[in-house]
Chains A and B, each alone.
Chain A
Amino acid sequence: IVLTQSPGTLSLSPGDTATLSCRASQSIGSNYVAWYQYRPGQAPRLLIHGASRRATDIPDRFSGSGSGTDFTLTISRLEPEDFAVYYCQQYGTSPRYTFGQGTRLE
């Protein structure tokens, strides 16, 4: 399964709402999709798993949705620390995981 994220770069301002897309080349069973945040110099952070389940301590400004082949990460009321790179990932069998190429939120 190939994951394609769009847009490659998203330019917004603090307070805006960001909508990040992740499209799979074929249907992802049971919505086994996760989203991660990468900030320079920091450990990547899990945001969402199971397409819509927020990870521990993730603010409710972050939400995930979607099913089948189309998944979305929405970040509302953008804060300065939200400007980072975001990756979607699907859990499968072989390979165990595949990742999207990332969306840079600037």
Chain B
Amino acid sequence: QVQLQESGPGLVKPSETLSLTCTVSGGSISSGGYFWSWIRQHPGKGLEWIGYIYQSGSTFYNPSLKSRLTMSVDTSQNHFSLRLTSVTAADTAVYYCVREANYNNYGSYYYYMDVWGKGTTVTVSS
């Protein structure tokens, strides 16, 4: 059974860089067939998809974060990471790493999040 675990600092100063890592256990990123993603939930607000990375290193980011975001993957360590630069209080949120699976619906694929980490709270404050 695949499990995901987020790690990283819980407090980041404004204008600095937020870095998180998601360690995958019970399965291998290299096995393919999935996207590895980050989602966040601001306090008292909705969920926001941040971006995904594939085992090959190819990425797709939320346009609203693209200029500040870098995702990377280390298949030898079976983890993937997120870097968000120039953070502000608006980046305070619970960050989840997730696995995106796909389903072939009569030749048209759709995606959904089938495995989630428990989430890690990141506060941006001086």
**Least CB separation from B47: chain A residue:** A99
How close is B32's CB to chain A, nearest CB, in angstroms?
Answer: 19
Give A99 to B45 CA distance when docked, in angstroms.
11
Picked from B46, B63, B119, the residue with its CB within 8 Å of the CB of A43 is: B119
B9-42 with Cβ < 8 A to chain A: 39
B80 at the interface (CB under 8 A from A): no
How close is A21's CB to chain B, nearest CB, in angstroms?
Answer: 17
Give A30 to B110 CA distance when docked, in angstroms.
9
Give A15 to B89 CA distance when docked, in angstroms.
43
B108 at the interface (CB under 8 A from A): yes
Give A62 to B41 CA distance when docked, in angstroms.
25
Contact in complex: B105, A50 (CB < 8 Å): yes
Contact in complex: A34, B112 (CB < 8 Å): yes
From A6-14, A69-77, A88-96, the one touching the partner chain is A88-96
Chain B residues with a Cβ closer than 8 Å to the other chain, count: 25
Could you give, for residues 68-106 of chain A, a 1 whenever the CB lies within 8 Å of some chain B CB and a 0 otherwise? 000000000000000000010101001111011110000
Contact in complex: B49, A96 (CB < 8 Å): yes
B8 at the interface (CB under 8 A from A): no
Contact in complex: A89, B119 (CB < 8 Å): no
Picked from B60, B105, B114, the residue with its CB within 8 Å of the CB of A46 is: B114
Interfacial chain A residues near B63, Cβ < 8 Å: 94-95
Could you give, for residues 51-67 of chain B, a 1 whenever the CB lies within 8 Å of some chain A CB and a 0 otherwise? 01000000010110000
**Least CB separation from A92: chain B residue:** B110
* Chain B residues in the interface with A (C-beta under 8 A): 3-4, 39, 46-49, 52, 60, 62-63, 96, 103, 105, 108, 110-119
A selection of 15 A-B contacts at a CB cut-off of 8 Å is A36-B113, A42-B118, A43-B3, A43-B117, A43-B118, A46-B113, A46-B114, A46-B115, A49-B114, A50-B110, A50-B112, A55-B114, A89-B47, A96-B52, A96-B111
Q: 9 nearest interchain CB pairs?
A: A49-B112, A99-B47, A32-B110, A34-B112, A97-B49, A44-B116, A43-B116, A43-B118, A91-B110
